[in-house]
Amino acid sequence: TKGWLAGREHANSNSELAGKTIGIVGLGAVGQAVGHIAAHGFDLKVVATTRSMQPAPDKVGFLSIDALVEQSDIIVLCC
């Protein structure tokens, strides 16, 4: 449709995210999925905080909530 084609000019805007830091609060199944997509799909640095300091998934660094808020360009609540 016309609307779909008009939106294609913005389709490659994910380059604005590359290199940014995403902070994930809550690293359960949803948080881990968000982190995986962010790291592998958008080339974001991923940091997280969680109550249960379980082993960090690949490409995820753990921080305190204060450090996460300070260092993140994007914050996602997955709790």
pTM for the predicted model, two decimal places: 0.77
Q: What are phi and psi of 73, to 5 degrees?
A: -85, -30
Domain ranges within the chain, ordered by starting residue = 2-77
- CA 29 to the chain's CA centroid: 14
Beta strands in 1-79 (DSSP E): 21-25, 45-49, 60-62, 74-77
CATH T-level topology, domain 2-77: Rossmann fold (3.40.50)
Residues 7-63: pLDDT tens digits? 666 666 555 888 999 999 999 999 999 999 999 999 999 999 988 867 777 788 999
